[in-house]
Chain A
Amino acid sequence: MHLRLIYLYRNLTRNKQRTLLTCAAVALPMVIYVLSTAVVSGVDAFLDNSARQLRLAVTHKASIINMLPEGYALKIKSLDPTGERLRAACGMRWIGGKMQNVTQPLSTVAVDAEEFIKAFDDFKLTETEKAAWLRDHQAIIVGRGTAAIFGWKVGDRISIRSSVPPYTSLEFHIVSTAEHAQDANTNWCHRSYYEEDLKKNIPEATQGMVSFFFVKCGSKADLDFFRVEIDKLFARTIDETKTQDEKAFMNEFITQQFDLPRNLTILSIVTVFVAVMAATNTMSMNFRDRFNEYATLKALGFGGGYVFTLIQTESLGLCLLGGIFGALMPYVAFMHTPLGRVPVPVIQHLEIRPIVCLHAIAIAAVIGLIAAVWPSVLALRLKVVAALRNLE
């Protein structure tokens, strides 16, 4: 065993250049693997969180841009007068928003203030934040990602121009940066404030219309129950509804924008494939160079199995080195340097979990084993006499 380890070490350091180049050629695809997997698992985590929240999204059946009357909230709540199984129904209106002299559009949603706190308890607002939010008509809870981009903090006054009628500039007071919200980009303001503005500027506009409702349920069973019941309640009315759980609702948006999860998964598979080829190349070159040595080893009495494992372990060691390096690089870069604060589409903050790094290292090990299959089988079958005859 000891001898084998020494031999392994010597083999790896024999052609340092080759070892380094191969490590790098394995490490870089692993970097891509770790990054794409982190994005994909970030999206999954986002959706899983949505699934855990036991919330239903109620939209217009024909299209999400058709609006529903705000009175639906009361009708929905009448399905469970106890308020135990159906905790809250929060009407929301998407108002988009733009900052002055900034081209990038914002995502702002006007909500029913009291219901919002009940329906979105995962925001974990503090008592002071809640009080400030309820007290102030112009309060806004901003997404922490958006806040970071514009340098906003609690207490700031900001003005946002709505992207929907009446397109006026509204002044808001920031009461929270929603540190625990899963969605770090969306801002939340009072719907009554927006409605008042609409009424003032376009008196003839239809008041009290919402884009969608979020309904908070008491349990998983209630979620399944009300998903059907709400649609039944509004069946054969002028505005029929479509009720889905929050995960399905969010997923529709995510998959329609480049289908990031699917495309990145394909990409990471391709890169792993590239790493396999790079490592195989090295191992086959090594084998060719050491053809005679393996013949000599066999002639000395080391069995075919010994030579086989020798090549396997070398390849494994080589790829593990590359894999560890490739997994640690993005981990350190994103978790321990300012690079981690760079916003990423959809998930905002790229979190590289250690488990993803471990996966990458495991994959690197498998790459090592695959890369060595052909050379080690050749070594196993090596005919000693024929090989030695070719000795230079």
Chain B
Amino acid sequence: MALPLYYNWRNLFVRKLSTSLTFAVVATLVLVLCVLLSFAAGIRASLAVSGWPQNVLVLKPGATAESTSIITPDEKGRVVQAPGIAHGADGKMLISEELCTQTSIPRRAGEHNMANVAVRGVDATAFGVHPEVKIIEGRRFEPGQLEVIVGKAARDRFDNLGIGGEVRLGRQGNRLYKVVGVFETGGGAFDSEIWGGRTQISDSFNRHFISSAVLRLDDAAEAAAAISYLNGPFVALESKRETEYYEDLSKTTRDIVALTTVLIAIMSIGAAFAVANTMYAAVDGRRREIAMLRTIGFGRGAIILSFVTESLLVCMTACLFGLAGAMFFSGTRQDFLSNSTWTVLAYELKITPTIALGSLGLACLVGVIGAIAPALRASRVHVIEALRKA
């Protein structure tokens, strides 16, 4: 027979200070865990929704990212023969030639220090190859005009990128482009970029080549054949699935996850000690009560269960508070300079269900570990002796 939950609930209010301090420790732990993990989750989420399985990204062999890749016109000419390329509504092949460069733009927040923002020159085909790009405000740029469209994340994070805003681009930074539209890709990496007409961008930056070509295939299943053709001796370029490329970029997040794990592990052990301390005090203060419970027929198991439940009650409520606190940070924009593309990725801190569940799990673990030794001690209370002290 188990003790009623109400008994535990009432007990928590007997030692208000102790309970609330333990509560605060666990809530802080959960808060820190969630915020730290949400950094990594935000970057990952952003890179995970980038790219399509049926898109193949072609780079120069040896280039580690689009920004350091150079594809010459004759190399580009050979790409069209890859098998399985889809055709757009206008009957043109869905091959997007893209030129990736970057520019320095001050951030909106903080000290307005400069960030390297990616600038991508694309043709009209790009919108067929990347159908996730949706204009949410304004219109697309006109080819041949000094006009650009900006990703939603870039607009929110960097200065003067709203519609009607002006941005200086080009090799000398002297071409004044006008922002005519804002686009969204559902949180992908493109959201941190500025897009303009390829020929214009190419001319402004004095870069007469393309960085990458993205091929959209009829079917994701054909990607393997296309990749082996493109990487083969006829074309001799390096291609991979677009999704794979972004997955590789997210590898840098492993460093933060590792660092986070170490710090959280240390903090969790500390929190478990704090919980154990409180529970020991609860047991010691209640020896007579426990003996009484034993006398009226509650078994050792019921006592152990009762103390573990009590600790879990504190930890889980604390976890909910910690999560609620972390939600305040959720959606905050941060940016991060990738060390392979050398451009910034503006991402949102995200409290994903996995993070929420993980922190609940950690809180429970801390609660159980902290309570187990005190609960065992409680179950071993010598009934007669404890009662005699009355």
The residues of A with any CB-CB pair to B shorter than 8 Å are: 17-18, 21-22, 24-25, 27-29, 31-32, 35-36, 61-66, 96, 98, 103, 105, 161-165, 167-168, 238-240, 252-253, 255-258, 267, 270-271, 273-275, 277-278, 280-282, 284-285, 288-289, 345
State A273–B28 Cα separation when bound (angstroms).
9
Say which residue of A28, A257, A258 sits within 8 Å of B269 (CB atoms): A28
Asked if residues A17 and B104 are in contact (CB atoms below 8 Å), the reply is: no
Chain B 202-223 near chain A by CB (<8 Å), digits 1 or 0 = 0001000000000000000000
* 10 nearest CB pairs, A to B: A167-B62, A62-B173, A28-B270, A256-B337, A281-B21, A21-B277, A25-B273, A278-B274, A24-B273, A285-B281
23 A-B pairs (CB sep. < 8 Å) = A18-B281, A21-B274, A21-B277, A21-B280, A24-B273, A25-B270, A31-B266, A35-B263, A62-B171, A63-B101, A63-B116, A64-B116, A252-B114, A256-B115, A273-B28, A274-B274, A278-B277, A281-B21, A284-B21, A285-B278, A288-B285, A289-B281, A345-B259
Query: Could you tell me the distance in whole angstroms from the C-beta of A315 to the nearest C-beta in chain B?
Result: 14
Contact residues of B between 19 and 53, Cβ < 8 Å to A: 21-22, 24-25, 28-29, 32, 36, 39
Asked if residues B339 and A285 are in contact (CB atoms below 8 Å), the reply is: no
Query: Is B321 interfacial (CB-CB < 8 Å)?
Result: no
Query: Is B332 interfacial (CB-CB < 8 Å)?
Result: no
Question: Which residues of A are found within 8 Å of B62, using beta-carbon distances?
Answer: 98, 161-163, 167-168
Contact residues of B between 56 and 115, Cβ < 8 Å to A: 60-64, 67-68, 70, 101-104, 113-115
Given contacts A32-B266, A278-B270, 16 further A-B pairs with CB under 8 A are: A17-B280, A21-B274, A25-B270, A62-B170, A62-B173, A63-B101, A267-B263, A270-B28, A273-B28, A274-B270, A280-B21, A282-B277, A285-B18, A285-B277, A289-B281, A345-B255
Q: Known contacts A105-B340, A256-B335: does B173 contact A61 (CB below 8 Å)?
A: yes
Question: Interface range on chain B: under 10, 10 to 19, 20 to 34, or 35 or more?
Answer: 35 or more
**Residue in A164, A239, A252, A274 whose Cβ sees the most chain B Cβ within 10 Å:** A274
| A168 closest partner in B (C-beta) | B62
| A20 closest partner in B (C-beta) | B273
Question: Which residues of A are found within 8 Å of B316, using beta-carbon distances?
Answer: none
Say which residue of B25, B68, B205 sits within 8 Å of A278 (CB atoms): B25
Asked if residues B336 and A256 are in contact (CB atoms below 8 Å), the reply is: yes
Say which residue of B39, B101, B278 sits within 8 Å of A258 (CB atoms): B39
Question: Which residues of A are found within 8 Å of B24, using beta-carbon distances?
Answer: 277
State A250–B15 Cα separation when bound (angstroms).
52
| A275 closest partner in B (C-beta) | B270
Query: Could you tell me the distance in whole angstroms from the C-beta of B228 to the nearest C-beta in chain A?
Result: 20
State A192–B67 Cα separation when bound (angstroms).
24
Asked if residues A18 and B280 are in contact (CB atoms below 8 Å), the reply is: yes
Query: Could you tell me the distance in whole angstroms from the C-beta of B222 to the nearest C-beta in chain A?
Result: 26
Query: Is B17 interfacial (CB-CB < 8 Å)?
Result: yes
Chain B 325-364 near chain A by CB (<8 Å), digits 1 or 0 = 0000000000111011010100000000000000000000
Query: Could you tell me the distance in whole angstroms from the C-beta of A28 to the nearest C-beta in chain B?
Result: 3
Asked if residues A18 and B64 are in contact (CB atoms below 8 Å), the reply is: no
State A36–B264 Cα separation when bound (angstroms).
13
Question: Which residues of A are found within 8 Å of B171, using beta-carbon distances?
Answer: 62, 66, 239
Question: Which residues of B are found within 8 Å of A25, using beta-carbon distances?
Answer: 270-271, 273-274, 277
| A273 closest partner in B (C-beta) | B28
